[in-house]
Amino acid sequence: MAKISELVQSADWKAEKHAPVIEVPGEVKPGEPFQVTVSVGKEIPHPNTTEHHIAWISVYFHPEGEKFPYHVARFDFAAHGASTQGPNTSSVYTEPVATFTMRTEKPGTLYAVSFCNIHGLWESSKGIVVG
């Protein structure tokens, strides 16, 4: 039986439409709020249809020197064009992009995990510099 870590894929988001993108300032001040934007399909658009879509993105922060990461955000994308008339008949679609604000006293690493209903779990990471 495979471990879940063996099922998570990663790639450069500039070449793979499923890899999440994490955007943060180059450096943040200790204890001051800063914005984080996570998305899928920034360079290569991901389909957003009933049959093929990003269902959610979760974000974790692992501060340097601590044993475990913290789950800091989760975004569910629930509208993919489905309606009572069938697939891709609605005028409502959510895009897999979300922004949140966080703060930390320590540097560390942000991890984003996204889920495509066809292609599974994808991850990426980005360092946070505190200065």
Report the alpha-carbon distance of residue 58 to residue 40 in Å, rounded: 12
pLDDT of residue 90: 95
Interval 89-112: pLDDT, tens: 999 999 999 999 999 999 999 999
- Range of 53's domain? 8-128
- Would the pTM count as exceeding 0.85? yes
Is 2 part of a structural domain of the chain? no
Question: What is the CATH number for 97?
Answer: 2.60.40.730
Is 1 part of a structural domain of the chain? no
Give DSSP secondary structure letters for 45-73: PPP-SSSS-EEEEEEEEEETT-SS-EEEE
Please tell me the total count of domains within the chain: 1
Is 55 part of a structural domain of the chain? yes
Is 59 part of a structural domain of the chain? yes
pLDDT of 14 over the 90 cut: no
Which residues are catalytically annotated? 16-18, 46, 52, 116, 119
Is 3 part of a structural domain of the chain? no
